[in-house]
C-alpha cells in the first residue's frame, strides 16, 4: 500500500487527509494519506523516508514550506520562484519539491470567471502563501499588485523576489478592484481585521484564503457592503487536485459530492 502524508505544525485542522482519502477510495487506489505534526528537526527523517520509498509523497504546510527546501534535490519552477514547497515526490531517485498552491489560486480565480486583466489587486499579509498568490497573479496580468503587512520587513523580502509589487503601510487602503486576505486573521471566528473598508467604492471582490470558517468577518463585511466575495475553499481543493494528479497520474473528479465534503 502506498503511503502519503501532510506535515505541518499545527496539523490537526488539516482537511487534506479527508480530501485525498476520498479521492483515493473513489479511484480504487491502494493507498492511505495521513497527517503528522512535526518539529523542524524531523524534516530530514521525512525526506529520508521518501528516498527509501517508505513514503510515496508528502504535502507540506505551515510553517515548513520554505524550511523544507534545503533537504530537496530539485525544485519545479513554481517552487523555485515562490521559494515555497507544498508537494514532494521522488523522481529517478531525486527528491523533487513542487508548489501547487499557485496553480490552486489561479484555478480558483478562473472558476470565479473574474478577469484580472488590468485590475488592481490588494493583498493583506506576507505569510507563507503570499508568494504563491503573487506568482499566480503575475500570470493573470493585473495592472498593479499592492501589498501591506503588519510587519513591513516581510513585505520587503517578497519585493526582492517580485519586483513589480508595490508595498504600502499596514492600515492604508489603496484603490483596488480585488482585495485578498492572506493573513491568518479570521481563522478564529472572533478575529477582526482592524481596517475600515466602508470607503472602498463599489463592485469590488473580496477574496479570503481562509475556508474554515466559511465566512470570516472579512467576508461578512464584504457581504454587508454589497461586494462580491469568495473564500479559499476552491483554492484548497485545486491545490490538492494538482498534487493528487501528480502523484497518482489520475485526475480525480471535483464534483458536487467533493464540494459537499466540506459541509460536514
Q: Which residues bind ligand ATR (CB under 6 A)?
A: 62-63, 125-129, 149-151, 154, 183-185
Report, in Å, the least distance between residue 256 CB and ligand ATR: 30
What is the three-class DSSP state of 87? strand
- Answer yes or no: are the C-beta atoms of 170 and 153 closer than 8 Å: no
Cβ neighbours for 102, distance < 8 A, ≥ 6 positions apart: 78, 82, 132, 133, 135, 136
State the catalytic residue, choosing from 35, 65, 119, 120: 65
Given the complex with ligand ATR, which of 56 and 155 has the nearer CB atom? 155
C-alpha angle 139-145-151 in degrees, rounded to nearest 5: 125
The candidate with the shortest Cα–Cα distance to 195, out of 213, 215, 214, 168, is 168
Report, in Å, the least distance between residue 191 CB and ligand ATR: 8
What is the separation, in whole angstroms, between the first and last Cα of the chain?
Answer: 28
Report, in Å, the least distance between residue 31 CB and ligand ATR: 29
CA distance linking residue 235 with residue 210, whole number of Å: 10
Given the complex with ligand ATR, which of 86 and 149 has the nearer CB atom? 149
Given the complex with ligand ATR, which of 50 and 133 has the nearer CB atom? 133
65 is catalytic: yes
Report, in Å, the least distance between residue 236 CB and ligand ATR: 14
Given the complex with ligand ATR, which of 64 and 244 has the nearer CB atom? 64
Determine the residue with CB nearest ligand ATR: 127
Q: Active-site residues: which are they? A: 65
Amino acid at each position: 500500500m502506498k503511503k502519503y502524508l501532510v506535515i505541518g505544525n499545527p496539523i490537526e485542522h488539516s482537511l487534506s487527509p479527508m480530501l485525498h482519502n476520498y479521492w483515493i477510495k473513489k479511484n480504487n487506489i491502494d493507498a492511505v494519506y495521513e497527517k503528522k505534526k512535526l518539529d523542524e528537526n524531523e524534516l530530514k527523517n521525512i525526506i529520508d523516508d521518501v528516498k527509501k520509498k517508505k513514503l510515496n509523497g508528502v504535502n507540506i504546510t505551515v510553517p515548513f514550506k520554505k524550511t523544507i527546501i534545503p533537504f530537496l534535490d530539485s525544485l519545479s519552477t513554481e517552487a523555485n520562484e515562490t521559494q515555497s514547497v507544498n508537494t514532494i515526490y521522488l523522481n529517478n531517485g531525486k527528491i523533487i519539491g513542487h508548489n501547487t498552491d499557485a496553480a490552486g489560486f489561479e484555478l480558483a480565480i478562473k472558476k470565479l470567471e473574474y478577469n484580472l486583466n488590468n485590475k488592481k489587486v490588494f493583498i493583506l499579509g506576507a505569510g507563507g502563501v503570499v508568494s504563491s498568490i503573487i506568482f499566480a497573479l503575475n500570470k493573470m496580468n493585473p495592472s498593479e499588485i499592492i501589498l501591506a503587512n503588519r510587519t513591513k520587513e516581510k513585505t520587503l523580502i517578497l519585493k526582492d523576489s517580485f519586483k513589480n509589487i508595490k508595498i504600502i503601510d499596514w492600515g492604508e487602503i489603496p484603490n483596488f478592484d480585488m482585495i485578498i486576505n492572506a493573513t491568518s486573521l479570521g481563522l478564529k471566528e472572533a478575529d477582526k481585521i482592524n481596517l475600515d473598508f466602508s470607503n472602498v467604492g463599489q463592485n469590488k471582490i473580496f477574496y479570503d484564503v481562509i475556508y474554515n470558517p466559511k465566512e470570516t468577518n472579512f467576508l461578512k463585511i464584504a457581504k454587508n457592503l454589497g461586494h462580491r466575495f469568495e473564500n479559499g475553499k476552491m483554492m484548497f481543493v485545486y491545490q490538492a487536485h494538482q498534487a493528487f494528479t501528480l502523484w497518482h497520474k489520475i485526475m480525480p473528479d471535483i464534483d458536487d459530492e467533493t464540494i459537499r465534503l466540506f459541509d460536514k
